[in-house]
């Protein structure tokens, strides 16, 4: 299996290099050169498999000779063993024809654990094979930082530095990062905003000498390996509801377009998915694109669903590449014009092709609160703001009620207790394994918004010289 860049200029790579590289050298994103496909009989044979075994079946065609089957199976088994539900990604019936796919049973309570728990192990595996160490740096305002830290903690070949804006994260989210006691985990509270943190990370990557000596790497959502791991729960849900002998639709609260793109990938692999419904908050560029072919950048506004407060969805480029019939230079040209003008122009034919599968729906902040309340009243489920957007988007935009609708519940309600309480009057409790989160000791270093200060800290705190 080879991977090609969406911009057509970077070298083709195998899975292990794609895993470690993240962004392609031409600025594009890696995608499989061909979509592997399973036959109906092959899908049927996967019904009823435990989640980790299903993950191995689904991911194997993507791995090439980078990771062998037994090693991958062991990593998958370990990755999901600690999840707090035996089904890993259980389906809960909401009403006669729609189901909630609970993706919050991992250690940090968001769907990001489903990919990152496996990706952290794959990083370590490949790095050990190569005798290398890496230093992961990232900025976070929310769920990614904690999921990445949990995925990389105690891995021998990795140091991880996560920058968060001092006193500007929610307490649950900060504590999920700062209470992890592991030698290779380094939390930095920056005197600045989330944008300052992101700029510092970018500046570290742009400092070529620093990047090379520290062997910097990232685990952001453009990494193909994350998408690959997310395909598994689409397959898991669809098979449970009768695929491949019956179509299934999905609704997904969407920010960077990574999660829903994994649904697209599952469909390319032959899974009969009828609709992929994208839920947006007030940062609604994707919903505007799908409704009016209007993909123009507005400013980011803060909402009750902060993990979707994104204007430019980085993974959208992967869909664009497909809509452009996999023409790299044409995709590169569109992306460059988009960056320069803030507006993506795509002809009506291609746009209509996107609409055969995707539809989008936007909820305002008020509608998001109303959605949580309405879902609780009509189904008895207390859901987080992101999941509520997915549910109402799905209910509003589905075209056929005899096709089962599966909604991705991307976070546990206790990750967003203030919004849930404002909407429903109920303050959701953390699951038992996190119930002492507020009593755990926090560890982080507070640093000024200064590249020099941060780089000095990364140099001295990382374990790369000798290791522990
Ligand atoms: C990250 C996140 C999203 C957005 O997922 P994308 O893959 O970026 O579209 C939605 N909900 C929650 C809770 C998240 O943490």
Distance CA 173, CA 146 (A): 7
Nearest ligand 1 atom to the CA of 384 is 13
Q: Name every protein residue with a CB atom under 6 angstroms from any ligand 1 atom.
A: 110, 112, 143, 221, 253-259, 307-308, 386, 410-411
CA of 173 to the centre of ligand 1 (A): 14
What is the secondary structure of 287-334 as a DSSP string? Answer: HHHHHHS-EE-------S-GGG--SS-TTHHHHHHHHTTT-HHHHHHH
pLDDT attached to residue 466: 42
CA of 133 to the centre of ligand 1 (A): 29
Q: Would you call 442 helix, strand, or coil by DSSP?
A: coil
Q: Which residues pair with 135 in a beta bridge?
A: 159, 216
pLDDT attached to residue 25: 85
CA of 210 to the centre of ligand 1 (A): 31
Q: 239 to each of 81, 130, 211, 295, how far by Cα in Å? A: 21, 37, 44, 34
Sign (positive/negative) of CA torsion 349, 255, 322, 44? negative
Tokens of 402: 């005899």
Nearest ligand 1 atom to the CA of 310 is 8
Residue whose CA lies nearest to ligand 1 atom number 1: 307
The answer to whether residues 317 and 330 touch, using CB atoms and an 8 Å cutoff, is: no
Distance CA 163, CA 178 (A): 11
Nearest ligand 1 atom to the CA of 256 is 8
Residue whose CA lies nearest to ligand 1 atom number 4: 255
Assigned CATH topology for domain 91-107+224-424: Rossmann fold (3.40.50)
pLDDT attached to residue 441: 96
Nearest ligand 1 atom to the CA of 410 is 13
CA of 362 to the centre of ligand 1 (A): 15
Distance CA 454, CA 204 (A): 9
Catalytic residue among 92, 112, 128, 343: 112
Q: Which residues pair with 158 in a beta bridge?
A: 134
Residue whose CA lies nearest to ligand 1 atom number 2: 307
The answer to whether residues 444 and 189 touch, using CB atoms and an 8 Å cutoff, is: yes
pLDDT attached to residue 464: 54
| Closest to 338 in 3D by CA, of 310, 355, 313 | 313
φ/ψ of residue 13, rounded to 5 = -135, 160
CA of 467 to the centre of ligand 1 (A): 34
Best residue for ligand 1 mutational test, from 147, 308, 390 (most atoms within 8 Å of Cβ): 308
CA of 284 to the centre of ligand 1 (A): 14
CA of 368 to the centre of ligand 1 (A): 15
Domain boundaries, the chain: 91-107+224-424
Distance CA 197, CA 364 (A): 27
- pLDDT in tens for each of the 468 residues of the chain? 999 999 999 999 999 999 998 888 898 999 999 999 999 999 999 999 999 999 999 999 999 999 999 999 999 999 999 999 999 999 999 999 999 999 999 999 999 999 999 999 999 999 999 999 999 999 887 788 999 999 999 999 999 999 999 988 888 889 999 999 999 999 999 999 888 898 899 899 889 899 999 999 888 888 999 999 999 999 999 999 999 999 999 999 999 999 999 999 999 999 999 999 999 999 999 999 999 999 999 988 999 999 998 888 889 999 999 999 999 999 999 999 998 999 998 999 999 999 999 999 999 999 999 999 999 999 999 999 999 999 999 999 999 999 999 999 999 999 999 999 999 999 999 999 999 999 999 999 999 999 999 999 999 999 754 443
Nearest ligand 1 atom to the CA of 411 is 13
Best residue for ligand 1 mutational test, from 113, 114, 256, 371 (most atoms within 8 Å of Cβ): 256
Q: 90 to each of 104, 209, 251, 429, how far by Cα in Å? A: 10, 46, 16, 20
The verdict on whether 373 is a catalytic residue reads no
Q: 49 to each of 52, 56, 106, 265, 453, how far by Cα in Å? A: 8, 10, 19, 20, 50
pLDDT attached to residue 373: 98
CA of 250 to the centre of ligand 1 (A): 15
The answer to whether residues 177 and 433 touch, using CB atoms and an 8 Å cutoff, is: no
Nearest ligand 1 atom to the CA of 147 is 15
Best residue for ligand 1 mutational test, from 410, 412, 420, 428 (most atoms within 8 Å of Cβ): 410
Q: Which residue has the tokens 């519940």?
A: 409
């Amino acid at each position: 299996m080879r991977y090609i860049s969406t911009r057509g200029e970077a070298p083709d790579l195998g899975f292990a290099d794609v895993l470690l590289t993240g962004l392609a050298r031409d600025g594009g994103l890696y995608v499989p050169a061909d979509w592997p496909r399973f036959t109906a009989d092959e899908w049927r044979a996967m019904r009823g498999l435990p989640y980790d075994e299903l993950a191995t079946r689904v991911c194997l065609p993507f791995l090439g000779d980078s990771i062998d089957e037994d090693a991958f199976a062991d990593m998958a088994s370990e990755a999901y063993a600690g999840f707090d539900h035996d089904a890993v990604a259980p389906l809960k019936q909401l009403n006669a024809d729609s189901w909630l796919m609970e993706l919050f049973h991992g250690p940090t309570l968001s769907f990001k654990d489903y990919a990152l728990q496996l990706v952290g192990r794959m990083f370590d595996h490949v790095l050990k094979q190569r005798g290398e160490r890496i230093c992961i740096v990232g900025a976070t305002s929310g769920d990614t930082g904690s999921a990445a830290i949990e995925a990389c903690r105690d891995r021998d070949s990795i140091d991880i530095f996560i920058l968060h804006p001092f006193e500007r994260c929610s307490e649950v989210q900060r504590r999920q990062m700062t209470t992890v006691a592991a030698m290779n985990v380094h939390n930095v509270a920056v005197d600045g905003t989330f944008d300052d943190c992101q700029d510092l990370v970018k500046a570290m990557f742009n400092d070529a000498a620093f990047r090379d000596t520290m062997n910097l790497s990232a685990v952001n959502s453009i990494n193909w390996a994350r998408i690959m791991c997310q395909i598994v729960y689409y397959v898991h849900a669809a098979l449970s509801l009768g695929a491949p002998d019956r179509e299934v639709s999905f609704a997904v609260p969407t920010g960077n377009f990574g999660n829903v793109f994994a649904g697209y990938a599952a469909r390319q692999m032959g899974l009969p998915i009828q609709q992929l419904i994208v839920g947006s908050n007030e940062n609604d560029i994707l919903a505007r694109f799908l409704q009016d072919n209007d993909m123009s950048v507005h400013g980011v506004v803060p909402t009750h669903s902060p993990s979707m407060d994104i204007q430019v969805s980085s993974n959208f480029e992967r869909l664009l590449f497909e809509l452009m019939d996999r023409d790299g230079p044409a995709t590169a040209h569109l992306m460059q014009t988009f960056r320069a003008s803030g507006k993506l122009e795509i002809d009506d034919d291609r746009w209509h092709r996107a609409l055969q599968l995707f539809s989008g729906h936007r909820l305002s902040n008020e509608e998001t609160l109303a959605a949580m309340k309405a879902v609780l009243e009509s189904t008895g489920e207390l859901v987080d703001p992101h999941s509520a957007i997915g549910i109402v988007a799905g209910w509003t935009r589905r075209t056929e009620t005899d096709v089962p609708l599966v909604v991705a519940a991307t976070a546990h309600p206790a990750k967003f207790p203030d919004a849930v309480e404002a909407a429903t009057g109920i303050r959701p409790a953390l699951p038992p394994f996190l119930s002492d989160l507020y009593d755990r000791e926090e560890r982080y270093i507070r640093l000024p918004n200064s590249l020099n200060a941060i780089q000095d800290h990364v140099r001295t705190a990382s374990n790369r010289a000798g290791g522990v």
